């Protein structure tokens, strides 16, 4: 694992955008695995800025997102579809049909998960997967569990995740109870994994995930076994690592 220790959120975002840009420049039709949440917003902003300057071209890029709430349609402002369009897809020259997320409106979970796995396979797999990390070490919606989930699957959200995500909804009742997410096995198949973490509130979990034992109780800890992981974290997030 390569660790880039950076000063703050802004530098984390610039470094992550740099790494993604290098990927796009060296392979214009790269398959990018993307994430939502507050951590990657600055990274997407930086990519948009470089695109506007004429330094980046997304015309051949393909994207697959980690996860999507089950039951939210595309117009719903809390859907990850909406998030991705707002922060990235609508602001760069990526053709809409080259962007992919699990379809939250498909009620048939098994079918949808199979479709998504097959789709990723047909794209030739993920070149680089961008990941944020939850306070309990979740990646995508892979929560602490007894075992690592392999493939894309439908999850029941944990109470802690519902509580953490309710800030985006009118009330906790409106937070969907289920989501589709790539599995840990799906994530590990990416050629390269880029993890971004910022803030003191993530310091404990950064230490556990990357310097602690590998356990499904800390889903991100499995990333220690991947041959090409880049961790970009700011000083606050690395403050518990000696």
Q: Which residues bind ligand F6R (CB under 6 A)?
A: 35-39, 66-67, 132-134, 138-140
Q: In the complex, what is the shortest distance from the CB of residue 76 to ligand F6R, in angstroms, rounded to a whole number?
A: 15
Closer of 4 and 9 to ligand F6R (Cβ): 9
> Is 110 a catalytic site residue?
no
Closer of 38 and 163 to ligand F6R (Cβ): 38
Q: In the complex, what is the shortest distance from the CB of residue 11 to ligand F6R, in angstroms, rounded to a whole number?
A: 16
- From the list 67, 112, 117, 234, the catalytic residue is 67
> Is 165 a catalytic site residue?
no
Q: How far apart are CA 13 and CA 30, in angstroms?
A: 20
Q: How far apart are CA 120 and CA 127, in angstroms?
A: 11
- The per-residue DSSP string of 53-101 comes to TT----TT-EEEESEEETT--TTSTTSHHHHHHHHTGGGS---GGGEE-
> Is 174 a catalytic site residue?
no
| Upper half-sphere CA count for residue 32 (Cβ side, 13 Å) | 32
Closer of 41 and 60 to ligand F6R (Cβ): 41
Q: In the complex, what is the shortest distance from the CB of residue 81 to ligand F6R, in angstroms, rounded to a whole number?
A: 12
- From the list 143, 153, 165, 234, the catalytic residue is 143
- From the list 103, 127, 136, 234, the catalytic residue is 136
Residue 236 DSSP label: T
Active-site positions read 67, 136, 138, 143
């Amino acid at each position: 694992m390569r660790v880039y220790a950076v000063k703050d959120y802004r530098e984390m975002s610039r470094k992550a955008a740099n790494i993604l840009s290098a990927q796009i420049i060296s392979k214009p039709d790269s398959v990018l695995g993307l994430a939502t949440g507050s951590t990657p917003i600055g990274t997407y902003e930086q990519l948009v800025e470089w695109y506007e300057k004429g330094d980046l071209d997304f015309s051949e890029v393909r994207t697959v997102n980690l996860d999507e709430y089950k039951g939210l349609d595309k117009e719903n402002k809390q859907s990850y579809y909406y998030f991705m369009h707002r922060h990235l897809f609508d602001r760069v020259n990526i053709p809409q049909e080259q962007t992919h997320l699990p379809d939250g409106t498909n009620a048939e979970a098994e079918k949808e998960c199979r479709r998504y796995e097959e789709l990723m396979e047909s794209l030739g797999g993920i070149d680089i997967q961008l990941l944020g990390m939850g306070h309990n070490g979740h990646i995508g919606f892979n929560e602490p569990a007894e075992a690592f989930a392999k493939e894309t699957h439908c999850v029941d959200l944990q109470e802690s995740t519902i509580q953490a995500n309710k800030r985006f909804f009118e009330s906790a009742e409106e937070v969907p109870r289920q989501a589709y997410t790539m599995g840990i096995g799906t994530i590990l198949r990416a050629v390269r994994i880029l993890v971004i973490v910022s803030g003191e509130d993530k310091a404990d979990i950064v230490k556990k995930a990357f310097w602690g034992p590998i356990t499904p109780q800390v889903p991100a800890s499995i990333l220690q076994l991947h041959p090409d992981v880049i961790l970009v974290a700011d000083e606050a997030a690395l403050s518990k690592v000696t």
